[in-house]
Amino acid sequence: MQETERKFLVTSDDFKTLAFTQNRIVQGYLNSHPERTVRVRIKGDKGFLTIKGKGNESGTTRFEWEKEIPITEAEQLLPLCEEGTIDKIRYEITVGKHVYEVDVFSGANEGLIIAEIELSSETESFEKPNWLGKEVTGDERYYNAYLSNHPFKNW
């Protein structure tokens, strides 16, 4: 139940033509405390409930528990969430032997594009496509829970 990932800002929309999927994601937080977040998400036609723990010192690894729930239950839980909904389109792109998830935010976070890659360990090597910019792994400002309370448009 450990997740190891790295995050990067995205410098161009070149990734869009390479995507093998794209889905709208709407999510809210029942709890956005940095040490333990509880998220309700609707991705496409599926619902999810996710609990994440505080990250390690580098911010690359943290506890994550996720379960699919009926979309009707996710729709009923969203109104109970804290103020500040995340709305984004997620593109998935294969680069080498990995899949990058690129989130193009809208609403209060419009203008922000973040790419994430999940790794099997903190030291695993991976290809960096030319549309990747500055690494923001461990910078809590780029966590969705933070963005829900401190929208990108207000930075």
| Residues annotated catalytic, as ranges | 29
Q: Are the beta carbons of 8 and 101 closer than 8 angstroms?
A: no
Strands (E), 34-106: 36-43, 46-53, 61-69, 86-95, 98-105
| List of residues 6+ apart from 33 with CB closer than 8 A | none
Q: Quick one: which of 145, 146, 43, 151 has its CA closest to 107? A: 151
Q: Are the beta carbons of 124 and 60 closer than 8 angstroms?
A: no
| List of residues 6+ apart from 77 with CB closer than 8 A | 28, 30, 40, 49
